[in-house]
Chains A and B, each alone.
Chain A
């Protein structure tokens, strides 16, 4: 069954908090195409762990500040 990814991210907010960094600039610093960065930002593509670390490193924040994964119902109870 096809399910949408549950990973969310704060890339847009982080870009604006870092001098309104453009998608093109962030993509360039991470080493991906702008289209890939847009797909990640919109939640259409879950990056590899390595790419996720590279994104977090650009913003100088921990990985959890960039990407979030919701707790499962068992963990919440």
Chain B
């Protein structure tokens, strides 16, 4: 497994675990209240920051556990990276357009912030899955 493939796995797992933790905390706080009344902003920011930190720590730990592993990156890694980013990009656009329409319709800020966060996470997950599938199988030819 190349260094870039390991990174793709780490980011995919961290994205899933981070969002799962966020959902567990926010839904756990609801306790019968409607969701827009639940405090979420601090948890959201901590989860995003925690996910970034966890990825960095996991990659550093990997370098310590397998010190001799190559960190080389070649054109296939770059192509796979670009494909993953472009596949994930669709959800960033969906999130931005959804948030814009929700703001125009004067939805509660809770839903606007959460739809943006959800789409960022879906973008990371979809992009990550694309990368690991292409690493394991082959590039799609259309």
How many angstroms between the C-alpha atoms of A21 and B73 in the bound complex? Answer: 22
**Interface bits B60-102 vs A (CB < 8 Å: 1, else 0):** 0000000000101111110000000000000000000000000
Name the prevailing secondary structure of the B interface residues. Answer: loop
Q: B139 and A32: CB pair below 8 A?
A: no
Chain B residues with a Cβ closer than 8 Å to the other chain, count: 17
Min CB gap A4→B, angstroms: 7
Contact of B141 among A5, A31, A33, A47 (CB under 8 A): A5
Size bin of chain A's contact surface: 10 to 19
Q: A46 and B72: CB pair below 8 A?
A: no
Q: B138 and A39: CB pair below 8 A?
A: yes
How many angstroms between the C-alpha atoms of A42 and B70 in the bound complex? Answer: 22
Q: B74 and A36: CB pair below 8 A?
A: yes
Listed in ascending order, the chain A residues whose CB lies under 8 Å from chain B are 1-5, 31-33, 35-36, 39, 43-48, 51
